[in-house]
Amino acid sequence: MHFATRAIHAAQPSDPTTGALVAPIFQTSTFEQESPGVNKGFDYSRTNNPTRQRLEAVLADLEGARDAAVFASGLAAEHAILQAFLRPGDDILLPVDVYGGTWRLVSRVFAPLGIEPRFVDTTSLDAVAAALAARPRLVWLETPTNPRLHVSDIAGIASLAHAQGTLVVVDNTFATPVFQRPLEQGADLVVHSVTKYLAGHSDVIQGAVLARDPAVFEPVRFLQNATGAVPAPFDCWLTLRGLKTLELRVQRHADNARRLAEALAAHPRVARVYYPGLASHPGHEVARRQMSGFGGMVSFELKGTAGEVTDFVSSRRLFTLGESLGGVKALIAQPARMTHASIPAERRAALGLSDTLVRLSPGLEHPDDLVQDVVEGLDALCANRESIAPLAV
């Protein structure tokens, strides 16, 4: 079956008791047992819940996984992977452009426990190969990255890593399984911030971990139950609802992103556009090879001051200033002061994460309106700059 059909039908039969087309929410903390330790497959909702089980089955199908574990947030999902596989003295390789929350988790929570994070240009197979000489326990990829949409060769890195006995984790949040399925390209684990495109309506906080190999997955499943960072049944039900329109939504997100990227690339107040769908993007060819679409995110460097960036992102009519992404309503952010503010300023500078970087998450609005909103703001900056220019003498 095609993706859109599976998103509606896979692991989602009508309710056998009532025939309800939409499965009920099992909003319960505990379940009746027939005798001590004998039950119908459920005993306590931290361990398992029918609504969460259904969501995990759907996510596994869409991502091409055998198993999925859903967590109360994307960072809870990341924490489970790191706790499952890293021990004091282990190294982990990460992209230099890694999401700020991941940077904080690895650098502020796991590094004090004796884990060594090594930030590498994962767009370069040579750089990854050199870093793998230290035999790290994990390679952690985001592709495309947050916020500059760098693209890494999943299959190439997986081949290098597996030769060293290193596991590969791919954060597939930006691409979604509509456009990219890392497990099919050799990744061992996939992680999602379900909050974003998968749930898709800015009303759920959730994460997921997926795998094909039971031996790799079981330590994560154990921690899901042992640490208890699980989502509520109602949140799982909301995500199930969102997944039914996932392909339609991300296609519109991607179409809007492409239109915005093209408009930004032509504007004089834009220094650089980050969008894998542009032929000028350094990772364009890799993205074409491993993705079926280029995703719904666009970032760009504004020619101007940090103050002008603040004015620009704070004054849009349709792009709401806010964190997160992947919802139906367009969002705009200044990563250095928002999503990546947990990274110290000197570290951001070393990573090339500037104060003039703007990140756009186009929603499902009409592309003409979104382009007009952004271009109007950029044109206003041009007009303001001209209005304060010194008079010729």
- Give the residue numbers annotated as catalytic, written as ranges: 46, 99, 171, 196
Rg for the chain, CA atoms, rounded? 22
How far is Cα 64 from Cα 175, in angstroms, rounded to an integer? 14
Q: How many residues comprise the chain?
A: 393
Cα 44 from Cα 31, distance rounded (Å): 6
Give percent of the chain above pLDDT 90: 90
pTM: 0.95
Quickly state the pLDDT bin for 387 (edges 50, 70, 90): very low
**Domains of the chain with CATH codes:** 3-243 (3.40.640.10), 246-387 (3.90.1150.10)
**CA–CA dist 201, 392 (Å, integer):** 52
Residue 350 reports pLDDT greater than 80? no
pLDDT confidence of residue 385: 63
Structure tokens, 210: 């997926």
From 147, 140, 146, 131, select the one nearest 78 (Cα to Cα): 140
pLDDT in tens, 173-197: 999 999 999 999 999 999 999 999 9
Q: Which residues contact 221 (CB under 8 A, 6 or more apart)?
A: 67, 69
Model confidence pLDDT, tens digit, residues 104-137: 999 999 999 999 999 999 999 999 999 999 999 9
